A and B are shown apart, each in its own frame.
Chain A
Amino acid sequence: MAEFESIVQDYKQNLAVDPDMSMPVAAVKALVAFIQNHPASTMVEFVEMVKAATQALKASSANAISLSAGCDLFMQAVTRMSNANLEDCREKLINKGTRFVEKASSCRESIAGLGVSFIRDNGVVLVHSYSRVVMALLLRAASQGKRFRVYVTESRPTRGGARTTEALRRAGVPCTEVLDCAVSYIVEQVDCVLFGAEGVVENGGIINQIGTYQVAIVAKAASKPVYAVAESYKFVRLFPLNQFDLPTHRPSVLSFDPPSPEVLADEAQALKWVAGNNPSVDYTPPSFITLLFTDLGVLTPSGVSDELIKLYY
């Protein structure tokens, strides 16, 4: 396992150096560096080595959904090329991977361009937590001189909402933070709901920060359109049937064991304990999503599967 420690470190460093880099891109970048540094003598050995590296990467993170999208993409490229000769394959992979990483940063901009027309002048938008790609879209709309207001959910325990409001206020967009439990209060004023996504699954549902599903249900009940905004490298070959079918689900989540009295005595610690005892992501089924804004275009949820089949065929 020691030889895979470097790749995990590499991956973490990629994320630390560039806070705008998303997990799948960091994973591909780490994998490219890995194959550059680790020569293999035969194709079989090479494929096995890459496979082991992706597994080590996936194992290193408690929430590997987004990360695994990058790993799977890379693995798919490897298997596609596996009947070529080794050196060719390695070189192509390195080129392809590097190009992918370079292109990835422009993804958000192209999505912002596609999605911005959905933000209307005088519109009211509800966003959940903090998402880089949603921010790109909103800031683009603001830069085009559109006047719109944004409700941002507080989204405990990460408090992503505070980050979003801060960034929006800096750009001069009127916004306010709403409690997670106040979503149904404000939803009737909202024109559309925007979500980012950690992963877009096979059926067009999304996996995103906890609370997304809840907001989506409220939005559907109020007949408001829900738009998910995600880069196509976040598409994962995963098909959860329900929340408990997510790879992030562990039996320890939401256990009925009470915390120790010391933890309960200290309010800050108690809050932290509750957060730790809760899931960090949830799955929103496709029936709650109106459209997905991706760099492949504006897709209906069923279009995701079409793209995935084409990608992995």
Chain B
Amino acid sequence: MENKTSSNRAPKAGGDQPLPAKPKDKPAKKEGSTAKQEKAQKKAAAKAARAAGGKDNKPKGKDTTSATALAESKKLPLVAHLEERIYPPTTAGAPPGVHPLVRSVGLQFAEFKICGSNARCIAMLQAFKQVIEDYQTPPYTTLCRHLPTYLSPQINYLVSMRPLAVAMGNAVRFLKLNISFLGIDIPESDAKQKLIEGIDEFIRERIIVADRVIVQYGLQKIQDGDVVLTYSCSSVVKAVLLAAHQKNIRFRVIVLDSRPLLEGRKLLQDLVDAGIQCTYSYLNSASYVMKQVTKVFLGTHAVLSNGALFSRAGTALVAMTAYDRNIPVIVCTETYKFTERVQLDSFVWNEVGNPHALIQGPGEGPVIANEKAPLEQWESSPNLRLLSLLYDVTPTDYLTMAITEVGMLPFTSVPVVLREYRI
């Protein structure tokens, strides 16, 4: 995986240069030395690093400049265009104008404490409600002209903590549209009231009520004796399964999960608590467990306009395995997750997760007391790069049905929904 493509890439990514041994080398690079000098410098640094055998590397987490330098040199050329973040996340870099609530929400996003498109979208909108409430239009300007410029840094801050989900992007667009609809002569308090009501309505109609409708449709597709497989954790799928259990439908659930996020455990806990018969397994057993499965239920991060799914990494594998066995793959999604964007592979756009988690993470496998995890020193190893992508693209061929609040649709209808409903 690691540097196969690096040799025929432009040197600008710095991808194939080993890590300089000392962080001091980096500022020098920034000072606009010529490319030749830079190359020579890097070579020397690489030599030093090789000679030292990686022994003299200290943990560099604290220093942000060295951390970015590290991130640069550890980037895979294939995904060099994707933004990587610094771990552990902090709110220290927040610009002064950012609302404290937005800061805290941003941190929770970055730490994956609030996770899942719906939860994140609701948290963001709730925060924006507070921001709007606390906002005061400066003199000589109007709310509808100034508020967007006030909101932008808040949104940018959230993006810097973790890229916005597609659904959140749609929500932001909705909010900005709402602001632009406000007339310039409307009193400030009325305008704010209108915006806040608009946000509440969005949350209610596009998420909460939509989920309720989806659950009703989903119930029609779970019958006695079904074995439902689901992957990772989707709030809508969970709601469907719980509702089916409440309706006394006798079915079994297989929860597939994968490292490093292990989100499926949250789902598993709730299903087991409700008394549903469950099996828990890792993604690598997908082809084995698929034999028993009658239906696959998935949630998603976004639905692209070519009908492809942009969802938690591993979803494509599950869908393809199911397709191979002629098992229907049903995706529960609200229409506010639909996007005009088209993507043919997972590299064009994706989110890079915490590479440290691949090695540290919650301890799996035999852990020997006091023993260091293998590859703990990966950052200092010039030949090793880690990549943790959070999402993947499932082509539309492998998907049977989308359950949305506007009905049960084939995935070929996604552009029609986008067009007819002007989402």
Contacts and interface: CB of A to CB of B under 8 A. Distances in A.
Interface of A: 202-204, 237, 239, 241-242, 244-245, 286, 302, 305-306, 309-310, 312-313
Contacts of A302: 410, 412-413
B420 A309 contact: yes
B398 to A, nearest CB: 12
7 contacts: A202-B407, A203-B401, A204-B410, A305-B413, A309-B409, A309-B413, A313-B406
B347 to A, nearest CB: 28
A275 B184 CA distance: 73
Given A302-B410, A305-B412, A305-B413, A241 B420 contact: no
B371 to A, nearest CB: 49
B413 A306 contact: yes
A305 B416 contact: yes
Given A305-B416, A306-B416, A313-B421, A245 B221 contact: yes
A14 B412 CA distance: 37
Contacts of A202: 407-410
Given A203-B410, A302-B412, A309-B406, A242 B328 contact: yes
Contacts of A305: 409-410, 412-413, 416
For the complex of A and B, 8 pairs with smallest distance between CB atoms: A302-B412, A203-B410, A305-B413, A239-B408, A241-B328, A306-B416, A309-B416, A313-B420
B115 interface: no
Contacts of B417: 309
Interface of B: 221, 223, 295, 328, 330, 400-401, 406-410, 412-413, 416-417, 420-421
Contacts of A244: 223
Contact of B401 (A241, A309, A313): A241
A299 to B, nearest CB: 12
Nearest to B307: A302
Contacts of A310: 416, 420
A39 to B, nearest CB: 33
Chain B binding surface, main DSSP class? mixed
Contacts of A242: 328
A286 B411 CA distance: 12
A309 B416 CA distance: 8
Contacts of A204: 410
Nearest to B225: A244
A237 B328 contact: no
A313 B401 CA distance: 19
Contacts of B409: 202-203, 239, 305, 309
Contacts of B223: 244-245
Contacts of A203: 401, 409-410, 412
B401 A239 contact: yes
Given A305-B409, A310-B420, 16 more contacts: A203-B409, A239-B408, A241-B400, A241-B401, A242-B328, A245-B223, A302-B413, A305-B416, A309-B406, A309-B407, A309-B416, A309-B417, A310-B416, A312-B407, A313-B406, A313-B421
A313 B335 CA distance: 14
Nearest to A304: B410
B397 to A, nearest CB: 9
Among A202, A244, A306, residue most surrounded by chain B Cβ atoms (within 10 Å): A306
A239 B401 CA distance: 8
B295 A241 contact: yes
A310 B409 CA distance: 13
B129 to A, nearest CB: 31
Nearest to B326: A242
Contacts of A309: 406-407, 409, 413, 416-417, 420
A205 B413 CA distance: 14
Nearest to B402: A239
A305 B417 CA distance: 10
A305 B412 CA distance: 8
A4 to B, nearest CB: 25
Nearest to A312: B407
B417 to A, nearest CB: 7
A228 to B, nearest CB: 16
A148 B370 CA distance: 83
Among A204, A302, A310, residue most surrounded by chain B Cβ atoms (within 10 Å): A302
A204 B420 CA distance: 19
Among A203, A237, A241, A310, residue most surrounded by chain B Cβ atoms (within 10 Å): A241
A313 B407 CA distance: 10
A234 B413 CA distance: 19
A312 B328 CA distance: 25
A195 to B, nearest CB: 19
A313 B417 CA distance: 10
Contacts of B410: 202-204, 239, 286, 302, 305
A202 B411 CA distance: 11
